[in-house]
Amino acid sequence: MKTIKGPAIFLAQFAGDEAPFNALGTIGQWAAKLGFKGVQVPSWDKRLIDLDKAATSKTYCDEVKGTLAEHGIAITELSTHLQGQLVAVHPAYDAMFDGFAPPELRGKPKARQAWAIDQVQKAAKASQNLGLLNHASFPGALAWPYVYPWPQRPAGLIETAFDELARLWRPILDEFDRAGVNVCFEIHPGEDLYDGVTFEMFLARVNNHPRCNILYDPSHLLLQQLDYLGFIDAYAERIKVFHVKDAEFNPTAKQGVYSGYQPWLNRAGRFRSLGDGQVDFGAIFSKLAAYDYDGWAVLEWECCIKHPEDGAAEGAPFIRDHIIRVTEKAFDDFAGAGTDEAANRRILGIAS
């Protein structure tokens, strides 16, 4: 067993134009003061990191790491959630996802897609230059508009969508393989990989690629009413990144999983700050420790009620208190008889 690293925090929800959130050094200092030991860095935010430089200059990457090391902070992973989303976009979402791309690419889906693929591939090299083993991303979605089969889906529609998704990602996964870095897809509604079955559909199409892995976030599984603990049992070997995020699901006579188009505050399923929701993190940390998960526990703060800075301040001790320092010996070693093979055979009544 291995002791999980942490606590760490995903910076995407905190980066902004006001100090201390507008530069890597100051946001790292802020995180350290709260008790965090690591940060997951959104690669699209140039206030925090220049992805182009990171992909081409190890010297620059050493400077980035040094800036954080001054405050006792390490980079856990880079994230390309926004760029990964743009690798595969159904036309129904073109206008909404255009905001993830540079202004000159908006309204140009093919150019936007090419830029996104290039960005994610650069993240492979940047991760290598930073000495990172794992990377966080979204896969994008072509089939998502057809998640509920009404009208009846044409035969082969979903298969064609997943074939195309795999065609787009296979060379990206190969690039990460050359860099020695895992791509960890966040299993998330809105993505084509939103549960275990869809992950397996994709995994089969990329020939069980060793770099195709999972970012485990129990909040998205709870809101779908999946068995988020059983999910660890099923996919432990592929879980390489862990977002510690809470959620609650309180269905009523009027709404359930789909939540009636309501804003987050009024939904049956809501993301909550750590400890305010229903996720059993004690069981999650125990399972991950038992399965030798040796990555980071990374707070992703999302809550429709609590202030983000309060959520961050509470999140560091919450994660720290849930990390299990694993034992190096069995609890009943004191009663061991110190036997050997010959003694074992005598105990079992096996003739020499």
CB 14 within 8 A of CB 308: yes
Report pLDDT for 344. 87
Beta strands 239-244 and 296-299 are parallel
User: Domains of the chain: which residue ranges?
Assistant: 5-348
Q: Which of 130, 25, 126, 8 shows the shortest CA–CA distance to 67?
A: 25
Report pLDDT for 21. 98
Report pLDDT for 352. 65
Report pLDDT for 295. 98
Beta-ladder partners of 216? 242
Tokens for 178, please give them.
């050359």
Write down the pTM of the prediction: 0.95
Report pLDDT for 334. 67
Give the three-state DSSP class for 134: strand
Please give the Cα distance from 153 to 156 (Å, whole number).
8
Task: Decide yes or no: CATH 3.20.20.150 for domain 5-348.
Answer: yes
Angle subtended at Cα 176 by Cα 161 and Cα 119, rounded to the nearest 5 degrees? 70
For every residue of 204-231, DSSP letters joined together read HHTTT-TTEEEEE-HHHHHHTT--HHHH
**pLDDT digit string (tens) for the chain, length 352 residues:** 889 999 999 999 999 999 999 999 999 999 999 999 999 999 999 999 999 999 999 999 999 999 999 999 999 999 999 999 999 999 999 999 999 999 999 999 999 999 999 999 999 999 999 999 999 999 999 999 999 999 999 999 999 999 999 999 999 999 999 999 999 999 999 999 999 999 999 999 999 999 999 999 999 999 999 999 999 999 999 999 999 999 999 999 999 999 999 999 999 999 999 999 999 999 999 999 999 999 999 999 999 999 999 999 999 999 999 999 988 777 677 667 677 888 888 888 997 6
